Amino acid sequence: MAEFDFIVVGAGSAGCVLANRLTENGKYTVLLLEAGGSDLNFWIWMPIGYGKTFYRKSVNWMYLSEPCPELNDRVSYWPRGKVMGGSSSINAMVYIRGQKEDFEDWKAMGNPGWGWDGVLPYFKMSETNDRGGDGYRGGEGPVHVSTMDRDLHPTCQDFIRAGEELQFAHNPDFNGATQEGVGTYQNTAKDGMRMSTARAYIRPARKRPNLAIEKHALTTRILFEGKRAAGVAYSQHGMMREARARREVIVSAGAVNSPQLLQLSGVGPTDLLRQKGIDVVHPSEGVGRNLQDHLAIDYLFRSRVPTLNDQLYPWYGKLWHGLRYVLTRRGPLSLGVNQAGGFVRGRPGEERPNIQLFYSPVSYTKAPPGKRPLMNPDPFSGFLLGAQPTRPTSRGHLEIRSADPFEPPAIHPNYMSTDHDIDEMLQCSQLMRRFAEAPAMARLIECEIAPGPQVQTDEDMIEDCRQRAGTVFHPVSTCKMGPNPGEDVVDSRLRVYGLEGLRVADASIFPTLTSGNTNAPAIMVGEKAAAIILEDIKD
């Protein structure tokens, strides 16, 4: 049986970082196992290809949640990357770290080393900001972060002016001294092409003799010798294989699959494991619990001025912009869909920004699976305003349906299940209307298409959220880090409680959801996990 010092399960945002950093000094061998295949795919590398990979089975797990009672029993569609780079290969590329206070909260919850001072060096280490490094931003890291201003749609400036009219300051850098304010987003991209963690961390490392990468390798079980993780079993091209880990198995399969793999391997809630006929290796009630996610509401407007719809809807527009992209890597196809936005307080009394905003100068009617809405915008001038509460208090869970590793887990997001979250969804809706009435935006708007003028009262707005709000694909915390072995899954050094030689390192360990998009913090977790592991193995 093949033997390695470390086995990393999952080549996603965090897993790719670990594979690179643990092989960097040449002392250790690493096996990186990825259930998906290569990321050499035009639709992955071209930013607007997001619309294509969104529903593409060859690179996407395409999960569906269970019906959510508070969303009128609607099922949520949960894309997750199943490809080298994981979700960083199919995401919308917005680069946001979160608020300093998020990490101070993590520390205060009993996680020494995870306060702002403890995580900032790893954010910086991972990043090359195209504006250069400084006290906050990185200048020499693998992940390139790009300012898109020269190609932004001109109406982004109207959005920012509207924010200023509402007394929200213009913030030129959401990842600098403060996150608060309105402005334009930066993307994880370089030269008009997506910067996934496969591109940033694996491409430079893949020829190292001490790094073995196995694609289309679905890890089905962690193999234990007593309480020690000794290796893994995986399925590849219809064959079952095994590999041994001399030192550690590191699970980086993401917020859906990391808890799934632990449960399949006998680490999870005792009753659940018994029910599914799985031998309990170690009871851990927290595995799959504490699920948190961002839920957003969009307002759709018909515009008086041309938007990206006018450029991308006609066939000749697609052709022109396609050619322009191929020849120059410029133009709207080189950008993500969320061009401007911000972080604001939904009400004056809020302690810190509690709402994230998105402005997309393009509109599309969300299509069922199989359709590719972003490449086919609406046939009229239109744009979207979106908003989401940054720190929801609703908690869901996920669990395996059976002992079959190929069967997707049952996901219960439990959105909008607290009064706090219902109130913040209302704040989001009210804020969208305030933006629409601000003079700089009002002059662009011909009419509001969704939800439309019939939605007026607070009750109408809340019902509209139950009817239309959707995930923005940031599930976290299903293998939560914390000080209580009874409830938490890993300690502050990411070791799974009660077991040896086993860590979890990805977005599933976040103690709470960060205020913003989750790719940058997942990469930071990968960086910090690698540093912790190298420190812990003392030879």
Ligand X SMILES: Cc1cc2nc3c(=O)[nH]c(=O)nc-3n(C[C@H](O)[C@H](O)[C@H](O)COP(=O)(O)OP(=O)(O)OC[C@H]3O[C@@H](n4cnc5c(N)ncnc54)[C@H](O)[C@@H]3O)c2cc1C
List residues binding ligand X (CB under 6 A): 9-15, 33-36, 79-82, 86-88, 90-94, 96, 218-219, 252-255, 257, 261, 473-474, 506-507, 517-520, 522
Give me the count of residues in the chain. 539
Taking the complex as a whole, the smallest distance from the CB of residue 189 to ligand X amounts, in Å, to 11
Strands 239-251, 2-9: pairing is parallel
Taking the complex as a whole, the smallest distance from the CB of residue 165 to ligand X amounts, in Å, to 27
Residue 270: count of CB within 10 angstroms of its CB? 12
Instruction: For residue 81, give the nearest of 516, 514, 507 by alpha carbon.
Output: 507
Please identify, using beta-carbon distances, which residue of 36 and 511 lies nearer to ligand X.
36
Taking the complex as a whole, the smallest distance from the CB of residue 539 to ligand X amounts, in Å, to 28
Q: Report d(CA 40, CA 472) in Å as an integer.
A: 25
Provide φ and ψ at 243, rounded to 5°: -140, 145
Structure tokens, 278: 């799985």
DSSP state of 12: S
463 three-state secondary structure: helix
**Residue owning tokens 């190929």:** 406
Please identify, using beta-carbon distances, which residue of 255 and 426 lies nearer to ligand X.
255
* Closest-approach residue to ligand X (CB): 12
Taking the complex as a whole, the smallest distance from the CB of residue 90 to ligand X amounts, in Å, to 6
Residue 51: count of CB within 10 angstroms of its CB? 19
500 three-state secondary structure: strand
Task: Judge contact between 397 and 288, C-beta under 8 A.
Answer: yes
Task: Judge contact between 430 and 456, C-beta under 8 A.
Answer: no
Provide φ and ψ at 538, rounded to 5°: -90, 25
**Helix residue ranges, H only, 361-492:** 419-437, 439-442, 458-468
Taking the complex as a whole, the smallest distance from the CB of residue 423 to ligand X amounts, in Å, to 25
Written as one string, the DSSP assignment of 165-225 is HTTPPB-S-TTSS---EEEE-EEEEETTEE--HIIIIITTTTT-TTEEEESSEEEEEEEEE
Please identify, using beta-carbon distances, which residue of 303 and 477 lies nearer to ligand X.
477
Task: Judge contact between 268 and 498, C-beta under 8 A.
Answer: no
Taking the complex as a whole, the smallest distance from the CB of residue 116 to ligand X amounts, in Å, to 18
Instruction: For residue 180, give the nearest of 346, 396, 422 by alpha carbon.
Output: 346
Structure tokens, 349: 């009394």
Q: Distances from the Cα of 523 to the Cαs of 95, 201, 250, 330, 451, in angstroms?
A: 11, 10, 15, 27, 36
Instruction: For residue 18, give the nearest of 26, 30, 27 by alpha carbon.
Output: 30
Taking the complex as a whole, the smallest distance from the CB of residue 168 to ligand X amounts, in Å, to 21
Please identify, using beta-carbon distances, which residue of 9 and 441 lies nearer to ligand X.
9
Taking the complex as a whole, the smallest distance from the CB of residue 536 to ligand X amounts, in Å, to 20
Please identify, using beta-carbon distances, which residue of 381 and 519 lies nearer to ligand X.
519
Q: Which of 153, 282, 321, 474 is catalytic?
A: 474
Please identify, using beta-carbon distances, which residue of 249 and 444 lies nearer to ligand X.
249
Please identify, using beta-carbon distances, which residue of 311 and 519 lies nearer to ligand X.
519
Instruction: For residue 162, give the nearest of 443, 438, 447 by alpha carbon.
Output: 438
Taking the complex as a whole, the smallest distance from the CB of residue 146 to ligand X amounts, in Å, to 13
Q: Is 474 a catalytic residue?
A: yes
Task: Judge contact between 372 and 51, C-beta under 8 A.
Answer: yes
Sequence-ordered list of residues with C-beta below 8 angstroms from that of 444, at least 6 positions apart, any chain: 155, 158, 301, 303, 304, 305, 383
Please identify, using beta-carbon distances, which residue of 79 and 141 lies nearer to ligand X.
79
Taking the complex as a whole, the smallest distance from the CB of residue 302 to ligand X amounts, in Å, to 26
Q: Report d(CA 468, CA 384) in Å as an integer.
A: 14
Structure tokens, 111: 């996680």
Please identify, using beta-carbon distances, which residue of 9 and 249 lies nearer to ligand X.
9
DSSP state of 129: E
Structure tokens, 128: 């090359």
Residues taking part in catalysis: 474
